Structure 1
Amino acid sequence: NGITGQIIIDDVQRDEDNKIVASGGAIDPSTKKIAITTSWDTPIPTSISSTLYLTRYLDNATYIQTTEADFNAGTLTDVIVTSTADGEVTLGSGGNGDWCDPGTSIVASLDLPGNGVAETVSAVEGKVFIGTGENASGESFINIGISNDDPPQLSIAGTIDGYKTNDVFVSGTHAFIATDDKQKDVVIIDLVTNSEVGYYNGSNGFGFSRAEGVYVVNSVGYVVIGTTLQTFDLSSFSGSRPSLDSLFLWGIGQDIFVVDHYAYVALEYLIAELRLVDVFNPSNISLGARADVNGERGLEVFVNETGTRAYLATDESPSKDELFIIKTDYSLASKSDANFNLQVISSYNANGMDPRGITVVPGNKAIIVGVNGEEYQVIDISVETSPTYCGGLEIGTGLYGVASILESDGDAYSYVVSKENNNEFKVIKGGPGGTYSASGQYESATFDVGYSTAFNRIIPTYITPANTSIQFQIAVADPVAGSCSGVSYEFVGPDGTPGSYYADEDVIAFQNDGSNYENPARCFRYRVYLSSADSSATPIFEEISINYSP
């Protein structure tokens, strides 16, 4: 008969005054917009439309959990409740301090031998290694023992002299220091005997002979000398170590970090401040992708353990940012392409501080240290598109290096070195606490409605930084002997089975077969499953809203 009909059902949004708006509001789970259109072609094409709204009006209610007190009532398994924004659940991140309050978390300090200026610091559990590079008045290499006490006790375990040290890297029982010595660019130190046992004499970096950064993976050493990245053999640690390859970087190398098959090099270069180098074959290395961030010198680089994010610090600028979060989770072909430009996800302004060191610590925090301004700054990178300052510390004499450690017993610390005359080395306790875990579970306390009702919709709010994930399940059950106490709960996802999980806002499944999961019912709980593939990152569960009605 030439007549057609169409019915479109849409969500409805409401503003903070509960008024219906076309966009920019929150979805009302209890209201739907119904648009009905009827059209015909003869005698002339015509259509008529009508819009109506259907709303639950009888006992339409919402159960919300969002505060610290709400979450503390639940059961925590390898997760913790924090109060950064008045209540959230995260994976345990280690430490009993507070990364965002370093001024009250300095737990130990030590006066270093000599009068040199410590320039670099590296750490493993129970040990910290410091190099003096700004002048030659101090020890080249200082081995500091750190006890597992609270607060930790510090002691000098050994020293090496004779060089100006620009970088320190530790692997197993050996330390590797990058020096100003043109005949010994990298010096190898046996940490058991506290003695020099070997060295690498690299090629001159096109007129720039200062070795700035050193890194070791398995039996290969990596060093940036002037405008070159050089690899050398470490199948043995004694004597002169042979070269494997050398690559021109088109810039002066300042720092190096190696993850998987790529070296990440911070460059003093106007076109690219970060350059990747494909080191899959250490005897045949090649230029990879690059990041052009601000035209200043790239100074320090840190890469997360999965190789998906790089954190680059550059020279201070009165008009530009100094910390950059760079996306590096690309295909191998893209990462190995010298013409491929890496995406800068976001940046942070250090407000007058000239960076000298960077690290990323558990709990979605980055720490940068430097000279001028506030020399120790902690940045919350939970939302990596918008890094925000969360705390800091002003020393007055500058900080020249930072390292962090998560101990096996769950303690978390950062270590810094300053230019002070005394107590140049400082230990700062981190947080937010809880034994570190790569996965954990939060189960809510029971919500007893008091009568049988239909649970309609789940609306969670959360943050998932790179390499983290979060999932949800809910449980609804009938009371036992008139009470929710003693009820056995079956947790399910959107299809009503234990094998499914909610990933976002969704409809809650109905089921009324008289056993296990029931909806409508009276007793309600939810679970949150958190996981991370990166020890420095954790998902953040912030709020859950459950709509229910008769």
Structure 2
Amino acid sequence: MLTKQRGHACRQAGFSIIELLITIGLAAVLLPALLTGFVAARGGRAQQDQRIQATFLVEGAQEAIREIKDSNWSSLVDAICPCYPAIIGSTWGLQSGTDPTLEDFERVILVEDVFRDADGNIVTTGGINDPSTKKVTTTVSWGSPIPSNVSEVEYLTRTTNEAYIETAESQFLQGTFGPTIAIINNLGGEVILGPGGGADWCSPGNPTAKLDLTGNGETRTVVAGVNRAFVSSGGNNAGRDFWNVTIDNIVFPPIPTEAGTYDQNGVKVNQVFGESHFAYLATDKNDREVVILDVSNSTPELLLNLDIQPNNTNGKSVFVSNDYLFVTTGDKKLYRYLLASDRKSAQQKGSFNLSANGNAIYVSNNYVFIAMDSSLNQLQIINANDPNILQTAGSLSTGNNEVGQGLFVSTSGDRVYFVTRRSSSQEEFFIINTENKSTPTKIGTGYDTAAMDPQGITVIDNRAIIVGLNRPQYQVIRVDGDDYNQCAIVPKASDPDIDDIYNVSSIRIDEHTYSYIVTANSNFEFQIIEGGTGGGGGLYAASGVFESQVFDTGSDVVFNSFTFTKNSPDPTNIDFLVALKPLTTGSCSSETFLSSDFYPYDGVPFGTNGRCFKYRVTLSSNGDFSLTPTLFDITFNYSL
């Protein structure tokens, strides 16, 4: 018995050892997994807590940024990031760097520009910068228990945007454009190329019309008007002072008719200017330096003998712009008068002492350009922006030591096409850059008119037409691109002589373009030459430029974008330039816009503050004169 009990106890002890070993082995296998799971469970809850707190921090930053967007958009534009939201003064703002108030987290904000394609869609490459939209990325990161972050992206847009739309015929008609542009109303208002005509300035033919003017007077000046021409004498005082020439343009070739004449016995007219149904004569009489006529009827009617006081000399040249009359006199003076609407009275509005007598005068964009009777500083520019005071702006010497004779000025006032009297060794025709009126500059070396002694100049369709004494008396130079490219001379070397030409003016009537000239031919003093851009009688002009009216936003704003609706069938084209300017004068309508103010529409410094803006459109047929591009509307988007 005792032996059996001992053996059973030994067996039980052996089993306990085995069980213990098995238990230890299982523990060695299971405990690490259990402990890892326990630790992971505790760490997961901690990580989730961190993520929840980080999300709250992101949302708090986004709320602050939205408040900044609504109250001070420029803070987003000017922010130096990485940055973080902070109370600056009494409002939210953005401070550069990382948020120092957070211990276990790091919060940073990135503000980036947004770019859009032509349809307004946000793109990641290319596109046009949209200054009214910003991409804001808010990121909160932490390092424990597991490094991670929460990041949110949102696009913020300035809330107060405005748009100016030009689409109506009445709006387009307020712009500035020449005869190579037409405003039509097929769909409410469109800008297209003007009629082209069949002739070519560079291949001038014989005059299409001639007119013998009554009397023995020697014609010297001519100004083209709508269905009329203003012609004056000047070579002597033996004939009529002024011829009122009406032109029937319904038929082709046009028919000029001497409707009536005006004569004050013994008066010599030095220059004529015409507008609508008024004619202005600069005379050699010191008690009526300027004579104003009503030419609405066949026989001109005297409205005013303007006696310039205390002047005691003659009138040399005359020009009228926006109801202001400008006249140069023989005592080296420039006078300005404000004309009554009926032209029966005038009030002097300033005078200016010139460096010499003014042989010819042209007014553009509130500046007076004068061809001086001097071999130095032949061009003088006078600032007429002040309604009561005339001030010097600048001058230029052509360098050929000949007196200034004639000039033509672009509508913008940025280019002057200038001729002097003949030089035996140097050029006589010059293109002058007058974007900066105080420092005008010659472009290139100029153009030599050879034996011709220039008397007058006009510019149409990017062609400068110079006329004068001695063959070749009629010369045409292409000036597009500010170049001097001769494209026609009349007569050519092998052609017979033609009459000397004293003056020239140009105009577009319906689908035809003409130059009106006055010559030394006593039988046909007045003549008409058809011109054009060529193309074999195409329907449309080769090219044209339209410049819009100035739009006044009423206060300083930020310009955002420029869009448009157009149709440009191949190979035609439309190019856009946009000008943005702050208000520097009394009103946007009186602001001067230079060529340097304009930018390509997709290169405008959008976001720049300003108040006055306009656009310029160049339409081109690119050789197919049967087609025209069409502008339907434009939209300027800006923010208050």
Common fold: TM-score over 0.5: yes
Matches within 5 A, 1:374-389: 374-389=472-487
- 1:238 and 1:108 mapped to 2: Cα distance? 32
Aligned to 2:512, which of 396, 411, 427? 411
Distance 1:282 1:533, change over 3 A: farther
Distance 1:328 1:93, change over 3 A: farther
Query: Is 1:441 the equivalent of 2:568?
Result: yes
TM-score by length of 2: 0.53
- 1:392 and 1:469 mapped to 2: Cα distance? 35
Counterpart of 1:99 in structure 2 is: 201
- 2:276 and 2:570 mapped to 1: Cα distance? 41
Number of aligned residue pairs: give it.
365
Distance 1:500 1:210, change over 3 A: closer
Kindly indicate whether the alpha-carbon contact (under 8 Å) linking 1:292 and 1:341 is maintained by their aligned counterparts in 2: no
- 1:132 and 1:187 mapped to 2: Cα distance? 14
Question: Share of identical aligned residues, percent?
Answer: 31
Q: CA shift at 1:261, angstroms?
A: 1.2
Counterpart of 2:372 in structure 1 is: 267
Kindly indicate whether the alpha-carbon contact (under 8 Å) linking 2:433 and 2:440 is maintained by their aligned counterparts in 1: no
- Counterpart of 2:355 in structure 1: which amino acid? W
Gaps in structure 2 of 5+ consecutive residues: 1-179, 182-191, 547-566, 578-599, 604-614, 625-640
Aligned to 1:197, which of 289, 296, 303? 303
Query: Is 1:361 the equivalent of 2:361?
Result: no
Kindly indicate whether the alpha-carbon contact (under 8 Å) linking 1:532 and 1:539 is maintained by their aligned counterparts in 2: no
Distance 1:356 1:500, change over 3 A: closer
Counterpart of 2:556 in structure 1 is: none
Q: CA shift at 1:109, angstroms?
A: 0.3
Counterpart of 1:249 in structure 2 is: 354
Kindly indicate whether the alpha-carbon contact (under 8 Å) linking 2:364 and 2:409 is maintained by their aligned counterparts in 1: yes
- Counterpart of 1:123 in structure 2: which amino acid? A
Q: Secondary structure at the match of 2:480?
A: coil
- 1:386 and 1:415 mapped to 2: Cα distance? 23
Q: CA shift at 1:538, angstroms?
A: 6.6
- Counterpart of 2:280 in structure 1: which amino acid? F
Query: Is 1:329 the equivalent of 2:435?
Result: yes
Kindly indicate whether the alpha-carbon contact (under 8 Å) linking 1:187 and 1:198 is maintained by their aligned counterparts in 2: yes
Distance 1:500 1:178, change over 3 A: closer
- 2:487 and 2:395 mapped to 1: Cα distance? 27
**Aligned-pair RMSD on alpha carbons?**
3.1
Q: Secondary structure at the match of 1:264?
A: strand
Kindly indicate whether the alpha-carbon contact (under 8 Å) linking 2:326 and 2:337 is maintained by their aligned counterparts in 1: yes
Counterpart of 1:230 in structure 2 is: 335
Aligned to 2:450, which of 351, 366, 382? 351
- 2:282 and 2:448 mapped to 1: Cα distance? 29
Counterpart of 2:131 in structure 1 is: none
Counterpart of 1:390 in structure 2 is: 488
Aligned to 2:382, which of 257, 277, 283? 277
Distance 1:398 1:203, change over 3 A: farther
Counterpart of 2:262 in structure 1 is: 160
- Counterpart of 1:217 in structure 2: which amino acid? S
- 2:456 and 2:497 mapped to 1: Cα distance? 15
- 1:395 and 1:110 mapped to 2: Cα distance? 20
- Looking at secondary structure, tell me which structure has more strand per residue: 1
Aligned to 2:414, which of 308, 318, 321? 308
Q: CA shift at 1:122, angstroms?
A: 0.5
- 1:300 and 1:404 mapped to 2: Cα distance? 14
Q: CA shift at 1:322, angstroms?
A: 0.7
Query: Is 1:150 the equivalent of 2:249?
Result: no
- 2:349 and 2:402 mapped to 1: Cα distance? 31
Query: Is 1:401 the equivalent of 2:523?
Result: no
- Looking at secondary structure, tell me which structure has more helix per residue: 2
Kindly indicate whether the alpha-carbon contact (under 8 Å) linking 1:400 and 1:418 is maintained by their aligned counterparts in 2: yes
Q: CA shift at 1:150, angstroms?
A: 0.6
For each residue in 1:418-454, what CA deviation from the matched residue of structure 2 results, as whole angstroms up to 9, or x when unmatched?
1112011111011125434547835159xxxxxxxxx
Q: CA shift at 1:410, angstroms?
A: 2.3
Kindly indicate whether the alpha-carbon contact (under 8 Å) linking 2:432 and 2:440 is maintained by their aligned counterparts in 1: no
Matches within 5 A, 1:114-193: 114-148=215-249, 149-162=251-264, 163-193=267-297
- 2:396 and 2:623 mapped to 1: Cα distance? 32
- 1:92 and 1:172 mapped to 2: Cα distance? 22
Q: Secondary structure at the match of 2:517?
A: strand
- 2:355 and 2:194 mapped to 1: Cα distance? 43
- Of residues 228-237 and 157-166 in structure 1, the stretch that sits farther from structure 2 once superposed is 228-237
- Counterpart of 1:370 in structure 2: which amino acid? G
**Greater radius of gyration (CA):** 2
Query: Is 1:432 the equivalent of 2:516?
Result: no
For each residue in 1:144-181, what CA deviation from the matched residue of structure 2 results, as whole angstroms up to 9, or x when unmatched?
11111111112111110122112111122211111111
- Counterpart of 1:130 in structure 2: which amino acid? V
Q: Structure with the greater relative contact order (CA < 8 A, sep ≥ 6): 1 or 2? A: 1
- Counterpart of 1:262 in structure 2: which amino acid? Y
- 2:296 and 2:242 mapped to 1: Cα distance? 14
- 1:532 and 1:371 mapped to 2: Cα distance? 38
- 2:621 and 2:368 mapped to 1: Cα distance? 28
Counterpart of 1:211 in structure 2 is: 315
Kindly indicate whether the alpha-carbon contact (under 8 Å) linking 2:221 and 2:518 is maintained by their aligned counterparts in 1: yes
- Counterpart of 1:324 in structure 2: which amino acid? F
